[in-house]
Amino acid sequence: MIQINSHLAGLQNNYLFSEIAARVARYKKEYQQKPINLGIGDTVLPLPASAVRALHQAAEEIAHRHSFRGYGPEQGYSFLRALIAEHDYQQRDIAIHEDEIFISDGAKSDAANIQELFSSHSSVAIPNPVYPVYQDTNIIAGRGSTLHYLAGTADNDFIPRPPSEQYNLIYLCYPNNPTGVMCNRGMLAQWVEYALENNAIIVYDAAYESFICDPELPHSIYEIPNADQVAIEIRSFSKNASFTGTRCAFTVVPKKCHGYNAQQQPVALHPLWLRRCATKFNGLSYPVQRAAAALYSPEGKQEIQERVSYYMQNAAIIRQALRNRSIRHWGGIDAPYIWLEAGGDSWKLFDRLLQHAAVVTTPGAGFGSCGEGYLRISAFNLRENVERATERLLQIW
């Protein structure tokens, strides 16, 4: 008799954004109306023209026998990894090299899969509230009983500091999803120090890095000395370049980064991740990697900047409205999410806002127990929708 992976039963019935989508579908059926979506962080501005051109050119290349390409390298094409290493790291004086970069189909997949590098007995620390993927994938892998939560509350501005307990694997996400807060260099340095002292690894999800506006804030965990020994960084083209449907992200596993075997000897993580990718992945499609590479051209960079500014202006509109009504909120300055104090049951408030304002938000409770009483508002929508939704929300607040 085939036995199921019983750890799957430890998950909540629905993934957060599937539950929201189901409630929205019910609403649409009942009210025959499409609500404004400030829930899931999905982009609305089109793919940058530079990326579209590169997609067309790459499609044309693979349409001919002489320039056809089949399987690509599982780690990603060198032309893209070299651009990432140069523009995202070396130009910021960070010594990350192209062979330390792994191209993937999304930050979500990478954040989900990276735990496969570590023993099922590893103790795992995740913030609460948190992007649910870190928690769920560790539960599926059988670490439900070794999962520990680092409370983010209004008292610490939703930025948990390193605990006194020793954990093996720590997930951090800055700029943060869901709270939109950003940690400064000193706070990040404390985490790196913690990981070095405890022989731990930090998975640093920097999918929203492009949205950092304050020039003093770190864009990469590798800006902290020695972080390359203890941190894996994940980035994405989804939100800054409208790749949510096109899919392209990358993970950095520095060659100096290591875990330990059962004999407590250090083992480099890079070859392990490469081995894992070679077994489970045949690389992202060639046209999509060409499209991502085009984002590093001057035109592509400008197009990214325009998109980021557009969403951050949306965030400023939402923040201003909340300030006018003295509603306590966080984020929206260096991240496209605003986290607001709602009071009471956040799913009930979600339903009320959907039914009476026709606006989709994300209930804080969906991100963990510390999220109860809060709502997340996403700045990813068209300006007119954001303005209309903000007005409607405040009318029935």
Closest separation in Å from C-beta 379 to ligand MLT: 11
The nearer residue to ligand MLT, 219 or 247, going by C-beta atoms, is 247
What size, in residues, is the chain?
Answer: 397
The nearer residue to ligand MLT, 43 or 220, going by C-beta atoms, is 43
Closest separation in Å from C-beta 9 to ligand MLT: 23
The nearer residue to ligand MLT, 109 or 229, going by C-beta atoms, is 109
Closest separation in Å from C-beta 265 to ligand MLT: 36
The nearer residue to ligand MLT, 215 or 245, going by C-beta atoms, is 245
Q: Which residues contact 105 (CB under 8 A, 6 or more apart)?
A: 247, 248, 249, 284
Closest separation in Å from C-beta 40 to ligand MLT: 4
The nearer residue to ligand MLT, 40 or 213, going by C-beta atoms, is 40
Separation between Cα atoms, residue 118 and residue 166, nearest integer Å: 16
Residue 43 binds ligand MLT (CB under 6 A): no
What are the DSSP E strand ranges found in the chain?
Answer: 36-37, 101-104, 124-128, 147-151, 169-173, 201-205, 231-236, 249-252, 258-260, 266-268, 329-331, 337-341, 359-360, 362-363, 374-378
Residue, CB closest to ligand MLT = 41
Residue 346 binds ligand MLT (CB under 6 A): no
The nearer residue to ligand MLT, 17 or 281, going by C-beta atoms, is 17
Closest separation in Å from C-beta 177 to ligand MLT: 5
Residue 132 binds ligand MLT (CB under 6 A): no
Q: What is the DSSP letter of 384?
A: H
Closest-CA residue to 192 (of 218, 162, 217)? 162
- If phi > 0 it is left, if psi is from -120 to 50 it is alpha, else beta; for residue 363 that is beta
Q: In what order do the strands lie in the sheet with 329-331?
A: 329-331, 337-341, 374-378, 362-363
Closest-CA residue to 75 (of 84, 87, 64)? 84
Residue 41 binds ligand MLT (CB under 6 A): yes
The nearer residue to ligand MLT, 94 or 111, going by C-beta atoms, is 111
Closest separation in Å from C-beta 287 to ligand MLT: 22
Q: How many residues bind ligand MLT (CB under 6 A)?
A: 4
The nearer residue to ligand MLT, 277 or 379, going by C-beta atoms, is 379
Residue 40 binds ligand MLT (CB under 6 A): yes
Is residue 389 a contact partner of residue 375, using CB atoms and an 8 Å limit? no
Residue 247 binds ligand MLT (CB under 6 A): no
Closest separation in Å from C-beta 362 to ligand MLT: 7
Is residue 194 a contact partner of residue 313, using CB atoms and an 8 Å limit? no
Angle of CA points 94, 99, 103, to nearest 5°: 95
Q: Which residues contact 271 (CB under 8 A, 6 or more apart)?
A: none
Residue 177 binds ligand MLT (CB under 6 A): yes
Residue 112 binds ligand MLT (CB under 6 A): no
Closest separation in Å from C-beta 275 to ligand MLT: 26
The nearer residue to ligand MLT, 108 or 270, going by C-beta atoms, is 108
Separation between Cα atoms, residue 386 and residue 122, nearest integer Å: 43
Closest separation in Å from C-beta 241 to ligand MLT: 14
Residue 108 binds ligand MLT (CB under 6 A): yes
The nearer residue to ligand MLT, 40 or 358, going by C-beta atoms, is 40
Closest separation in Å from C-beta 86 to ligand MLT: 26
Is residue 74 a contact partner of residue 278, using CB atoms and an 8 Å limit? yes
The beta-carbon contacts of 150-156 under 8 Å, at least 24 apart in sequence, are: 150/125, 150/126, 151/127, 151/370, 152/127, 152/128, 152/179, 152/370, 153/370, 154/328, 154/341
Question: What is the binding site for ligand MLT (CB under 6 A)?
Answer: 40-41, 108, 177
